[in-house]
Structure 1
Amino acid sequence: MIIRIVKMGFLPDQIDAFLENFEQNKEKIRNFEGCSHLKLLRDTHQTNQFFTYSHWESEEHLNNYRNSALFKGVWANTKNKFSQRPEAWSVIEA
């Protein structure tokens, strides 16, 4: 299993639009083949900082999602709201 963590910082006036986009797409992402978990987290102090935390059966499943029309649509609607470059990690439990 791959755990994918993505850190994203948003322009303050774009946070509501990001949250709306996430809400509209979260079940589609959760139901994408190979995804068994998706959660959105928000930093308690820097409230424009968000993290997605997702579980994927394999790196191949994650890459299939990253190459999908669903991801491309979600990402196109997300990346224009950033205040900083996003960071991403793919990790496994030690």
Structure 2
Amino acid sequence: MIVRIVQMSFRDEAVEEFTILFNERKERIRHFDGCTHLELWQDTARPYIFFTYSKWESQAALDKYRFSEFFKDTWGRTKALFADAPQAWSVEQRHVVE
């Protein structure tokens, strides 16, 4: 299982456009082959910063999504709204603390 976290900073005037785009595409992302979970988070102190948190069956499944035409179109539209370069991490869960 791969967890993918992507941090994105948007121009203030682009926040609404991004949330509309995400809402239009979230179900298709969530149902992409190999995706088992998808969330969108928004920073409480800096509302122009968002994170996507997704879970993928494998790195191969994530890569299949990242190289798809759907992703290229979605990412192209999203990048046009950025105020700063995004950051991304692919991680694996090691321990659960309860």
What does residue 7 of structure 1 align with?
7
Structure 2: stretches of 5+ with no match in the other structure: none
Percent sequence identity is 47
What does residue 26 of structure 2 align with?
26
What does residue 85 of structure 1 align with?
85
What does residue 64 of structure 1 align with?
64
Say which SS state the counterpart of residue 47 (structure 1) adopts.
coil
Amino acid at match of 2:20: E
Normalising by the residue count of structure 1, what TM-score does the alignment of the two structures yield? 0.99
Considering only CA atoms, is the larger Rg found in Structure 1 or Structure 2?
Answer: 2
Normalising by the residue count of structure 2, what TM-score does the alignment of the two structures yield? 0.95
Amino acid at match of 1:12: D
What does residue 16 of structure 2 align with?
16
Structure 1: stretches of 5+ with no match in the other structure: none
Amino acid at match of 1:3: V
Aligned pair count reads: 94
Amino acid at match of 2:77: N
